[in-house]
Structure 1
Amino acid sequence: MAQTQLRREDIELLAPAGNWEAMRAAVANGANAVFFGVEKFNARARANNFLMEELPDIMKFLHLYGVKGFLTFNILVFENELEDAKELVEACIDAGVDAIIVQDLGLVKMVREISPDFPIHGSTQMTITSAEAVEFTKQYGMERVVLGRENNLKQIQKIHEQAQLPLEVFVHGALCVSYSGQCLTSEMWGGRSANRGECAQACRLPYDMMVDGEHKEMGNIAYVLSPKDLAALEIVPELIEAGVTSFKIEGRMKSAEYVANVVSKYRKAIDAYFAGEKYDPSIIDIQELEQSFSRGFTPGFLLGTNNKTLVDGTFPKKRGVLLGTVQKILRDAVLVELNAPLKRGDGIVFDAGDPTQDEEGGRVYDLRVKGNKIEGSVDQGTYEIVMGRNDVDLRRVNVGDKVWRTSDPELERRLRKTYDTEKPYHTFPVDVHVFGSVGQPLVATFKDVRTGHEVTVHSEKPAEAALKRPLDQTVLSEQLGRLGGTVLHLGELTMDLEGDVIVPMSELNKMRREAADRLMDLREQPPQYTKREIDVYEDAHVPEPVDGNDARLIALCRSLEQIEAAGQTDVDYIYADFEFVKDYPKAVETARKHGKKIALATPRILMPGEIGILRQIIKHQPDGVLLRNTGAVQYFVQERPEGIELIGDFSLNLANHKAVNLFLERGLSRVTASYDLNTEQMVDLLSQSDTSNVEVVIHQHMPMFHTEHCVYCTFLSEGTDYTNCGRPCEDQRVSLKDRVGMEHPVRVDTGCRNTVYNAIDQSGAEFLSEFLSYGVQSFRLEFLEEEGGRVQEVIKLYRQALRGEITGTQVWKNLNATNQLGVTRGQLVKK
């Protein structure tokens, strides 16, 4: 890549802060910006978080050091929370928060109603992975987007060149195996939505891999969905040259020492680039990063897809630094072949290959060679490790066990010193110009070079003719440069004095103090934004009840057999959601043969270079398109293909009436409610929305994980990605068996992305009458692996319920009786 035209000041190092200590650590170690959450509305509900009333103090502290503060508002906002959300937005505007990071497009709409100029950043939970998706956000004045973690360097550069909007990219920390904003597992299994900051980390659980119904022996690999941690320290130059302007570090639930460690390393790498120096992280740098937190490091998808390196599979949790392996068990010690430094007081764990069991570990008490104690740190070689007597049961340690260093108290103390101090973390230059003459007050202009703020102060007493020791460069520098205790230091001092003049030193001290106080106040001043008073429900609708006989029934099919079967029923519409776009022409032909309208589903993700898939969909001339991402929405709204209606799917994450309105205003004819809503939240949404244009999915296998990581390629192939995997997905069917024995099907889409579906059907049949009473006219049934007969049976049941011939409860009981695994109400029932 060519040398970028960006300057050092154009690049932002963005650090996480879950508490005040972590925020100070970020500032002290060179972060340009910090992102943090308050007690409500952020994607780390389990973090300590700050309080809304602390916002003014947070922003004063950050702005004092010239650091920006971004508030994470990156969750879906339910209908009954819009007033509280408005209150928080207004508090952010008043406190001078530099931007809010937003997932919910309904919230974006509301923010713009409140303020046309308050900065909004599109969160990674918006699943923005293409230039088209970036373009979608521009209509709402969003000044920055956070790209999906699945974009590689080439794609990032292409998006940058096409979209011309600042790009933020995660460079370090935990990886989600699922696309952010597209994981429904926690919601499905426990009513704890990842889109609400309550992720239960189902990806970190063990799964057995089933291939064509048979268990595949995987040895000690059980964590097939648990990625390593992202580390992009070695490719900082490539990221800058690809157009990344904000380097984001994950970790609002991590310690202040972690923040200090990671920020300082990336600060060094970014500064080296702009100094024209080559920065190669040392082994010590990498080991220190591993020590703070690591499940093993990977560049993720930044260097392209390599399914063999994303997941280790043998453990799901923090490990630290791999020291070596156990060679021998002694009477009171363990003989270990070390490959990394170790010293007394370090914490270690013995890894026997089964992280589900309690593991032996503790503090290193002594290090020996052939029984002789060694002082200080040791590095590579064979050493006897003596543990505290009550820490380790040596009978449970085995030859061959891996040994990990899990803590390094000395490193933690060193990192803590960087921010645990009363002294200012950084100081900034102030240029001073002094001018005066005999009989006139002395005048000094102080200019804060970093901010451009300028203040002028005067002596109370006029200058006098100096009989000895007139004011000169030395005297003025000494007196006006005493700025200790502030974040300022004297930069360049210039003078314009007429003759030899003097004022009392006390006058110079007063001038300095006044100037410093005023400059510090100016640094802490919040930016000013427009703020309008709004009624959040001014754009709400009052729904009218619908007769079930007039309701539209839609069948989403995933095979030609299902379309053939649905076509022979009285469904009003068929959606085709096939793994391979090449099969769509046959789908259209089959539906038309039965006189049915058909919509073709876009992939759930749109990456650069995949517009051809959308063009193919238009080419097949369906009656409608089921749009699953904002990039596809942008493309089809621009193209406006004649005779094709545009339908927004669940993955657009519509959780409030403002999100519904936003997409309808963009030209969609119908939108689908988010799968994050339980029945109560769904009713709240419907009560304020134009429900004639809202679709509700009433029967489905919940799509839990949607991921770039392909388990077919990883575990059924020698290849690394779709170019060399041999496409085992075309011949074999994989499912993941959980701890309670449920087998969750894994399906592949045309972009080779995997979706893990819940094993059990979900039915909302019992809530049909309630949804009808709120004006819902379109109900969808989704099929996964059902044979044609079962498709027809399910369609018939729901049609009978809509007509009032049977109750929703009867539908439920029938489905439960005729389905081998039964059915679930899933997230629809409030937990």
Structure 2
Amino acid sequence: MKKVELLAPAGSLESLYAAVQNGADAVYLGGTKFSARAYASNFDEETMTKAVEYCHLYNVKVYITVNTSMKQNEIGEALEYIKFLYEIGVDALIIQDTGIAELVRRNFPDFEIHASTQMTVHNGEGALLLKKLGFSRIVLSRELSLEEIKYISKDLDIETEIFIHGALCISYSGQCLMSSLIGGRSGNRGRCAQPCRLPYGIINKTTGKGKKGYVLSPKDICTIENIKDIIESGASSLKIEGRMKRPQYVAGVVSAYRKAIDEASCQLNYEKQSNFKVEEEKKKLLQLFNREGFSKAYLFGNTGRDMMSYRFPKNTGVQIGKVNKDLTIELKENISIRDGIRFGDDGFTIFKIVKGSKNVEEAFIGDRVKLKPTKYKSGDILYKTSDVKLLDDLSKSYSDIYEKKNNLKLNVKFKIGDPVTLETIYKDKSFKVSGEEVQKALKKPLEKEKVIKNLNKTGDTAFSFIEISFETFEEGFIPVSSINALRRELIDKIGEYIKNEGKRTLNKGLDLNVTSKKELKSQINGPIVVVTTKEQLKAAEECNIDNIAVELFMRDYDIDFKNINCPNVYIKTSTIIKEEFNNVCREIEEKLPYIKGIITSNLGIISKLKEKTLIIGDYKLNSFNSYCMEFYKDILDIATISVELNKKEIGNLVKKAPLPTSIIVYGRTELMVSEYCPIGSAFGEKTGKTACSGECTKGSFVLKDRKGEEFPVKTDKYCRSHIYNGSAINLIPNLEEIKGLNVELYRLDFTDESYEETLSILKGYKNESYEGEFKGFTRGHFKRGVE
């Protein structure tokens, strides 16, 4: 069985030491720019170089996250940064932006690239496409089941990486625009404000029924009990999330999963098993961080309310007991002074523990104690959110950053009249050093044990000698300081070899050219109007729209495709097409004789149908720069510009775009798409995807935030939920400005608009104005952009 990789997060140098010393096979980290965790400590060039050299001493691989969407004016700086990473010997890049992928494969063809989970790869065809286009590893979407992972990893023979522990996004990664549209902090740019962790009401506008809670806040993933099954899925790398977490968290989680992986590997290879106690390790993981417990994410098909932390979105901690009337607590867990305690939304640090009439440093399960300060009241349930003894123990695991050792065998020649020589083999390469000549002993010769003792003083290095043998030993003399110096020279020689082994030099200039622009295929005239309902279609037909796209896959789709009165008909697909992929392809292929093309951001659909019809890449492909379009130039005919760019940034992109471009001038932006349904979870009696309650068919639903803003929630035919911005983008009043940008194709998207609303918008577009008040609309990022 091939060795599976344990991949750990490192948001700081201390976390990196914690990961390596506790058994990680690889680490992933980000620089001070272009990282999807912009608010982690991250690494400047000096600490980045230090990190790579340190990891390579332990044969630990280093993957750097360059996984944000990049604007046109950032590309040059990003490529210079990647050149630096290439030259210091980074093992691979984790990339979201396809423009960066294009430039890396062009300028650094031997630099390994991994497709970030932000690329939303969730079906086999999409994975195959990216493998063909140069990605050596695919970080799969967290929404996949073990069977789907197995199909992509084993059946399609694709190197995959999956998340096994840590925070879970409720939206498909790379498809969330909620933080961006609400507050201008883009998740695609590493600045997510986590609006999903805020409270919302989910309301049926038809009936008035509603429920409140943290309805978009999922529990963290924990798969410590399932590692054997996960390894058998064929995934190459098992990833822990947590670059924003403290080093002790990294140490604890990595050590737990190191034990679990080693135990599972022993079982699978029929070897002697270790003394791994899964319940002990899970308890430690719960204490380090949990949100009302853990979930298995979607690995086993569950998408219901039991994967959500409805009541408390932060670290829940571990319950220590309920407060009695006399304000004592009978302990369910051990506690110590300086532990962190929570009750409700409040918390405190223990300064005193009173047991009977005595103050004690710690107390144990079954003890009856009072805690000071006594902020709590009778009936409160107390939770331990921070265990100081656990954190201290975990800190010790990496306080000596060279506690782990690479074991070497050493051959020594100690012969009178000859120089002392030390020789060892590391990675099939011989390393040899020679020192002073061994002199005849005038008084007392240097004893062999003394030589061995000094050769073993390797404490501040990553190496140790597990076996020291003497080719020759004669009772002579040499200063002990010379033995020590020679040992250091040998180890330094190995260290320098390792540090320089992966370093590379680029002896050519960087290529930032783009190809000339494709012509707009078949000269599409006029806008494309996307409709979902018969009423919207009727309005589009009455306005004599020449290009109508039909969204086939929403639950309220009710259009008779054959009776559409329009010269050019298109199909618009959902971004997410998973286990239903083959059925969707068949449905589309049946309609190919009657359609002009497809609007999609699903990589699998693009790959499968690119030779059969015109393909318009949708805005969820996150095309932020012209090089994104360069990446897709052979498989897309038209590319829709990201809705996160402002007017100036759109202009910069279009000037160099190798593909015809499209822009959304009207429509509700899809903020999230999720396997989880907040409607069914809140109102349904059962949990799990297979137990869909059908509640979403019984009305019109919105999420309502703390400020009273409402966000429509719709479901598709495959029980996925789609959350839309409360206000539609309306750039119709800005059409004159947009014309100056030279975008070739305009698009208007209709989701839940009535016939009258659709008609009003289309007439406004045809008149190149919007006569009604600009009320209830937004210009999105057209004026402001994102950070």
Same fold (TM over 0.5): yes
Residue 159 of structure 1 contacts residue 608 of structure 1 at CA under 8 Å; is this kept in 2?
no
The corresponding residue for 1:103 is 96
The corresponding residue for 2:270 is none
> What is the rounded CA distance, in whole Å, between the counterparts of 2:433 and 2:678 in structure 1?
69
Q: Relative to 1, partners in 2 of residues 1:20 and 1:52: Cα closer, same or farther, differing over 3 Å?
A: same
The corresponding residue for 2:389 is 410
| Cα deviation, residue 731, structure 1 | 3.1
Q: Figure out how many residues of one structure are paired with residues of the other and give that number.
A: 774
**SS of residue in 2 equivalent to 1:723:** helix
The corresponding residue for 1:419 is 398
| Cα deviation, residue 439, structure 1 | 7.1
| Residue identity matched to 1:697 | I
The corresponding residue for 1:724 is 691
**SS of residue in 1 equivalent to 2:323:** strand
Q: Relative to 1, partners in 2 of residues 1:217 and 1:668: Cα closer, same or farther, differing over 3 Å?
A: closer
| Cα deviation, residue 764, structure 1 | 1.9
The corresponding residue for 1:623 is 596
The one-character-per-residue Cα deviations of 1:364-402 (angstroms, maximum 9, x if unpaired) are: 522435x67666322147x3423226xx2x5xx352x33
The one-character-per-residue Cα deviations of 1:482-511 (angstroms, maximum 9, x if unpaired) are: 4333211113445555x9786746675554
Match of 1:285 among 266, 278, 281: 281
Asked if 1:567 is matched to 2:534, the reply is: no
| Cα deviation, residue 268, structure 1 | 1.4
The one-character-per-residue Cα deviations of 1:399-450 (angstroms, maximum 9, x if unpaired) are: 2x332112222222211122223x62211111234569887666543112xx
| Residue identity matched to 1:209 | I
The corresponding residue for 2:753 is 786
Match of 1:674 among 642, 645, 654: 642
Give me the TM-score of the superposition, normalised by structure 1.
0.87
The corresponding residue for 1:249 is 240
Asked if 1:305 is matched to 2:302, the reply is: yes
The corresponding residue for 1:366 is 353
Match of 1:171 among 151, 160, 164: 164
The corresponding residue for 1:557 is 531
> What is the rounded CA distance, in whole Å, between the counterparts of 2:405 and 2:477 in structure 1?
28
> What is the rounded CA distance, in whole Å, between the counterparts of 1:194 and 1:698 in structure 2?
22
**SS of residue in 2 equivalent to 1:525:** helix
The corresponding residue for 1:804 is none
Q: Relative to 1, partners in 2 of residues 1:719 and 1:534: Cα closer, same or farther, differing over 3 Å?
A: farther
Asked if 1:275 is matched to 2:249, the reply is: no
| Residue identity matched to 2:300 | L
Asked if 1:745 is matched to 2:702, the reply is: no
| Residue identity matched to 2:355 | R
> What is the rounded CA distance, in whole Å, between the counterparts of 1:518 and 1:464 in structure 2?
29
The one-character-per-residue Cα deviations of 1:97-146 (angstroms, maximum 9, x if unpaired) are: 11111101111001112110011111110111122222111233222121
Residue 108 of structure 1 contacts residue 140 of structure 1 at CA under 8 Å; is this kept in 2?
no
The one-character-per-residue Cα deviations of 1:229-287 (angstroms, maximum 9, x if unpaired) are: 11111111111111122221111111111111111111111122233337765544333
| Residue identity matched to 1:677 | L
Aligned-residue Cα RMSD (Å) equals: 3.0
| Residue identity matched to 1:616 | E
> What is the rounded CA distance, in whole Å, between the counterparts of 1:522 and 1:69 in structure 2?
17
| Cα deviation, residue 583, structure 1 | 5.5
Residue 545 of structure 2 contacts residue 566 of structure 2 at CA under 8 Å; is this kept in 1?
no
Question: Where does 1:666-705 land on structure 2 (aligned, <5 Å)?
Answer: 667-690=635-658, 693-705=660-672
Q: Relative to 1, partners in 2 of residues 1:615 and 1:590: Cα closer, same or farther, differing over 3 Å?
A: same
| Cα deviation, residue 73, structure 1 | 0.7
Residue 713 of structure 1 contacts residue 721 of structure 1 at CA under 8 Å; is this kept in 2?
no
> What is the rounded CA distance, in whole Å, between the counterparts of 1:337 and 1:617 in structure 2?
64
The one-character-per-residue Cα deviations of 1:119-174 (angstroms, maximum 9, x if unpaired) are: 11111101111222221112332221211111121111111123322211111111
> What is the rounded CA distance, in whole Å, between the counterparts of 1:444 and 1:361 in structure 2?
58
Asked if 1:376 is matched to 2:376, the reply is: no
Asked if 1:814 is matched to 2:772, the reply is: yes
Q: Relative to 1, partners in 2 of residues 1:468 and 1:279: Cα closer, same or farther, differing over 3 Å?
A: closer
Match of 1:756 among 706, 723, 736: 723
**SS of residue in 2 equivalent to 1:567:** helix
> What is the rounded CA distance, in whole Å, between the counterparts of 2:600 and 2:399 in structure 1?
51
The corresponding residue for 1:206 is 199
Q: Relative to 1, partners in 2 of residues 1:711 and 1:550: Cα closer, same or farther, differing over 3 Å?
A: closer
> What is the rounded CA distance, in whole Å, between the counterparts of 2:436 and 2:734 in structure 1?
79
Match of 1:774 among 709, 718, 741: 741
The corresponding residue for 1:707 is 674
Match of 1:663 among 608, 632, 637: 632
> What is the rounded CA distance, in whole Å, between the counterparts of 2:355 and 2:438 in structure 1?
75
| Cα deviation, residue 599, structure 1 | 1.5
Residue 72 of structure 2 contacts residue 652 of structure 2 at CA under 8 Å; is this kept in 1?
yes
Residue 195 of structure 1 contacts residue 676 of structure 1 at CA under 8 Å; is this kept in 2?
no
Asked if 1:514 is matched to 2:489, the reply is: yes
> What is the rounded CA distance, in whole Å, between the counterparts of 2:378 and 2:175 in structure 1?
42
Question: Where does 1:10-159 land on structure 2 (aligned, <5 Å)?
Answer: 10-159=3-152
Q: Relative to 1, partners in 2 of residues 1:774 and 1:279: Cα closer, same or farther, differing over 3 Å?
A: farther
**SS of residue in 2 equivalent to 1:785:** coil
State percent identity of aligned pairs.
31
Residue 102 of structure 2 contacts residue 630 of structure 2 at CA under 8 Å; is this kept in 1?
no
Unmatched segments (≥5 aa) in structure 1? 802-809
| Residue identity matched to 2:65 | T
Asked if 1:428 is matched to 2:406, the reply is: yes
The one-character-per-residue Cα deviations of 1:342-364 (angstroms, maximum 9, x if unpaired) are: 3343221222xxx4xxx254425
Residue 662 of structure 2 contacts residue 743 of structure 2 at CA under 8 Å; is this kept in 1?
yes
Residue 442 of structure 1 contacts residue 463 of structure 1 at CA under 8 Å; is this kept in 2?
no
**SS of residue in 1 equivalent to 2:742:** coil
Asked if 1:578 is matched to 2:552, the reply is: yes
| Residue identity matched to 1:376 | E
| Cα deviation, residue 217, structure 1 | 4.5
Match of 1:602 among 573, 578, 586: 573
Unmatched segments (≥5 aa) in structure 2? 268-272
The one-character-per-residue Cα deviations of 1:744-781 (angstroms, maximum 9, x if unpaired) are: 11111232111111121111224322332232121000
Residue 16 of structure 1 contacts residue 26 of structure 1 at CA under 8 Å; is this kept in 2?
yes
> What is the rounded CA distance, in whole Å, between the counterparts of 2:275 and 2:601 in structure 1?
41
The corresponding residue for 1:611 is 582
> What is the rounded CA distance, in whole Å, between the counterparts of 2:294 and 2:40 in structure 1?
23
Q: Relative to 1, partners in 2 of residues 1:689 and 1:470: Cα closer, same or farther, differing over 3 Å?
A: same
Give me the TM-score of the superposition, normalised by structure 2.
0.91
Residue 183 of structure 1 contacts residue 704 of structure 1 at CA under 8 Å; is this kept in 2?
yes
**SS of residue in 2 equivalent to 1:155:** helix
> What is the rounded CA distance, in whole Å, between the counterparts of 2:349 and 2:465 in structure 1?
50
> What is the rounded CA distance, in whole Å, between the counterparts of 2:322 and 2:415 in structure 1?
78
